[in-house]
Structure 1
Amino acid sequence: MLSKIFVPPDQPVKVEDTSNKLIKFGILGAANIAPPALIIPAKSHSEVIVYAVAARDQQKAQKFAKKHGISKVYGGNDGYQQLLDDPEIDAIYNPLPNGLHFEWTMKALLAGKHVLCEKPFADTAEEVKQMFDLAERKGLVLLEAFHYRFHPAIQRVKAILNSGELGKINSIDAKLAAPAGAIKDTDIRFNLALGGGAMMDIGCYTLNCIRYLTSSDPTSVVSATAFPLKAANINETKIDRAMNATLALPNDVLATLEVDLAMPWEFFPPKLFKFWVEVKCEGGDVELLNFVLPTFCHSIKVSTKAGGTTTKRIEKVYKFADAHMDDNSKALDLGEDWWLTYRYQLEAFVDKIQGRTPQTWVTRDDSVSNLEWIERIYDKAGIAPRPKSDYVLLAE
């Protein structure tokens, strides 16, 4: 299956007709995330062409374009804006550092482009509101790239919880951590000016997952502890290498999250990564291992308790036909077992642009709330939220 992920077996001819406009994408920055997030998924989508890429470094842009078969290249200090001004481009993929999301998404919207922007959407919730305000005034599609939400694995877990099979939710715990050394101290993820920090990076996933599976926002941040990048007092830095937080949710549900961009090595037993979400309920538990990238292997472990007996089962869901979600006829025919979360996301984004109803969506309120609670977690931890962008919208 892995070979199919990177070289899709079904690569349709890209033909534009009167009913389905061929959507041409431009990428802001020659980012490492762009191939799995857009370029590979676009290969198997008949309505998508990755048409152009821009980078500050002209040679880097040209090398990236040649490697990935992109026909148009923009480079230099004005490269991003030149790409936005290209009338051939319909949609923008924005994988720039967090601190640049607001400025270049706003400029893309001003240029009349639909935008798929990496998460977190911006450095502040207020900026997210401004982005959506502009998109709505322009009649454009704007989506925060919480790609995992579009995959049937996480949706299957939510369906199990919503079914009442396990009873009331008591607690939920989400963990994401990478081992020390995987990310260098000089990485942009640790740059405050660019919106860095563990809570902003992988932390936004865990918070979003908690909110999604419980269908609720927190009522308060009970506790939050930030761990600094270096062995220094936390008050001497505003960058969190790691963050642990406990949240109170409605109906007496307690949520915990743990994220770490440089987790200390554990050899006995060996633990290189943490990437799961576990929900404990009155009538049993459900755990999804690898909720962020389930295409590469995941498991849904369900444990039910009844009459003093515990029953366990394991499910694996790679396409909607296997997800037992009969209430959504569109979903039944959607997907292949080799589709990345990003491919499911692209399907929804294109559906929205083409005026079709996507299988699922990440709404404005969802995106705004996620940033608001990230800010509150930072406040509770005693370090300020990320600084807002200097960009100011002067005219439309």
Structure 2
Amino acid sequence: MTVLSSIIGLFNTRLALALDPPVVPKNEAPLRFGILGAANIAPSALITPARSHPDVVIYAVAARDETRARAYARKHRIPVVFSSYQDLLDSPDVDAVYNPLPNGLHFEWTMKALTAGKHVLLEKPSSNRAEETRQMFELATKKNLVLLEAFHYRFHPANHRFKEIITSGTLGELRSLQVDTRMFSGFFPARDIRFNYELGGGAAADMGCYGLSVVRWVTDSEPIVEFAKAELFNGRADVDRAMVSDLIFDSSPHSSSRIYAHIACDLARPWKFGILPTLPTFNITATCARGTVRCTFFIMPAFIHSITIHENGKPPIKETRYKFLGENTIGKDWWTTYRYQLEAFVNRVRNRNPQHWISGDDSVAQMRALEAVYVKAGLQLRPASNVEFH
């Protein structure tokens, strides 16, 4: 067997397990999840990862269209269907809620879930406004509940390895970061919620928030938005199809001088010559004093990625990292970003220390930075919720 065929075999095995993981026996009193909405993201983000977690069951789903909810439940073998979100929240049999609703509904239904005493796994971005995010985490703390913004990429070992290379100082001080997250035109239909301003749509709020999150995480500091420019969607004055932004980090522990970051995101990148779709791009590159390090497909590294370390004057070195190293680490090499994230969420609920966590303060700071990008680009902030909580 050649080395190449061995690599392909390992990839196929890992991919098969990630997409169709083993169903493990469940603990006596597992965490029972309810899903708000029959969202397309839920199977990969929660339903599939839950199959291999002994302490998680997907108990219920609710949707505004009950017929759709019942079809969704049959497809994904979810035993209970509720005809409204509130009915699901009122159920004493639901312990935790997954909220993948459109961005503009995150605040309302997360606040209602917390008020009902449910832990919440909340899709990114956490809300439309930093003030809303602050209120949600304040309520979670008050009620001693777990609330996590689902930036799933942060839980995967590939991204931790990328950051480790930078913070170790092997390549010298960090100088700059470049992030590209782009999809080709037509991947998302024109009527997708990502292009709906009223629901919190826009490239920076959707795909672009990954880039903003990762540069904040890698630098361990908060940015000044120096420049931002939007490409509008179909001439709309309020929805960004694409966004580029330049950030400055003045006080990172990983450099004695300023760090610069360039972030580019695009939900509908034009086709080459008008006939060829461009490949999806999810890459981050760090330039340090003595070289560069690049991670490809950093958002979904479980399926494929590469980490290229290029120290000045030396040949590049390529790595992959599908599992954390060490004796007391968790995970399997086929675990997806979402499976690692679910492990951390459950550990937090069960009062165990997760291997990684995203704090409420981090989520609030993330929203402040996102607001600053929209302001610098001259666009309106995404609309605040008209539902008030006291």
Shorter-chain TM-score range: over 0.9
In the other structure, the counterpart of 1:257 is 263
SS in 1 for 2:315: strand
Is contact 1:125–1:371 with CA below 8 Å preserved after alignment? yes
Is contact 1:266–1:272 with CA below 8 Å preserved after alignment? no
In the other structure, the counterpart of 2:82 is 74
In the other structure, the counterpart of 1:64 is 72
1:312 maps to 2:316: yes
SS in 2 for 1:216: coil
1:96 maps to 2:90: no
Is contact 1:185–1:229 with CA below 8 Å preserved after alignment? no
Give the TM-score normalised by structure 1. 0.91
Aligned 1:300-379 pairs, distance under 5 A: 300-305=307-312, 309-321=313-325, 326=326, 329-331=327-329, 334-379=330-375
SS in 1 for 2:311: strand
1:161 maps to 2:159: no
List per-residue Cα deviations over 1:157-184 (Å, max 9, x = no partner): 1111111101111110011000011112
1:105 maps to 2:110: yes
Q: Give identity over the alignment, percent.
A: 49
SS in 2 for 1:266: coil
In the other structure, the counterpart of 2:231 is 227
1:4 maps to 2:17: yes
In the other structure, the counterpart of 1:50 is 58
Give the TM-score normalised by structure 2. 0.93
SS in 2 for 1:302: strand
What CA distance in whole angstroms lies between the structure 2 residues aligned with 1:166 and 1:249?
19
Displacement of 1:385: 1.0
Aligned 1:28-39 pairs, distance under 5 A: 28-39=36-47
SS in 1 for 2:81: strand
What CA distance in whole angstroms lies between the structure 2 residues aligned with 1:264 and 1:310?
37
What CA distance in whole angstroms lies between the structure 1 residues aligned with 2:279 and 2:307?
20
List per-residue Cα deviations over 1:139-198 (Å, max 9, x = no partner): 000000000000000000111111110111111001100001111221110111100000
SS in 2 for 1:374: helix
Is contact 2:269–2:278 with CA below 8 Å preserved after alignment? no
List per-residue Cα deviations over 1:277-296 (Å, max 9, x = no partner): 00000011000000000011
Task: State the number of aligned residues.
Answer: 370
Q: Of 292, 304, 309, which aligns to 1:297?
A: 304
| 1:270/1:314 CA distance change after superposition, 3 Å | farther
List per-residue Cα deviations over 1:199-252 (Å, max 9, x = no partner): 00001100001111111111x21110010112x3xxx61110000000111231
What CA distance in whole angstroms lies between the structure 1 residues aligned with 2:296 and 2:115?
40
Aligned 1:112-131 pairs, distance under 5 A: 112-131=117-136
Residue type at the aligned position of 2:328: K
Displacement of 1:270: 7.2
Residue type at the aligned position of 2:172: G
In the other structure, the counterpart of 1:26 is 34
Q: Which runs of 5+ in 1 are unaligned?
A: none
Is contact 2:270–2:277 with CA below 8 Å preserved after alignment? no
1:276 maps to 2:283: yes
Displacement of 1:312: 1.2
SS in 1 for 2:316: strand
Displacement of 1:52: 0.2
Displacement of 1:266: 2.6
* Coordinate RMSD, CA, aligned: 1.3
What CA distance in whole angstroms lies between the structure 2 residues aligned with 1:191 and 1:269?
26
Displacement of 1:310: 2.0
Displacement of 1:42: 0.4
Displacement of 1:15: 2.5
Displacement of 1:269: 9.8
What CA distance in whole angstroms lies between the structure 2 residues aligned with 1:365 and 1:66?
39
Is contact 2:196–2:202 with CA below 8 Å preserved after alignment? yes
In the other structure, the counterpart of 1:199 is 204
Q: Which runs of 5+ in 2 are unaligned?
A: 1-13, 251-256
Displacement of 1:271: 3.2
Aligned 1:169-248 pairs, distance under 5 A: 169-218=174-223, 220-230=224-234, 232=235, 237-248=237-248
In the other structure, the counterpart of 1:288 is 295
Aligned 1:132-143 pairs, distance under 5 A: 132-143=137-148
Displacement of 1:311: 2.9
Which consecutive aligned stretches of 4+ in structure 1 deviate over 3 angstroms post-superposition?
267-271
Is contact 1:53–1:65 with CA below 8 Å preserved after alignment? yes
| 1:237/1:178 CA distance change after superposition, 3 Å | same
SS in 2 for 1:182: coil
List per-residue Cα deviations over 1:18-42 (Å, max 9, x = no partner): xxx4100000001000000000000
In the other structure, the counterpart of 2:4 is none
What CA distance in whole angstroms lies between the structure 1 residues aligned with 2:191 and 2:53?
36
Displacement of 1:8: 1.1
SS in 1 for 2:227: strand
Is contact 1:330–1:359 with CA below 8 Å preserved after alignment? no
Is contact 2:184–2:277 with CA below 8 Å preserved after alignment? no
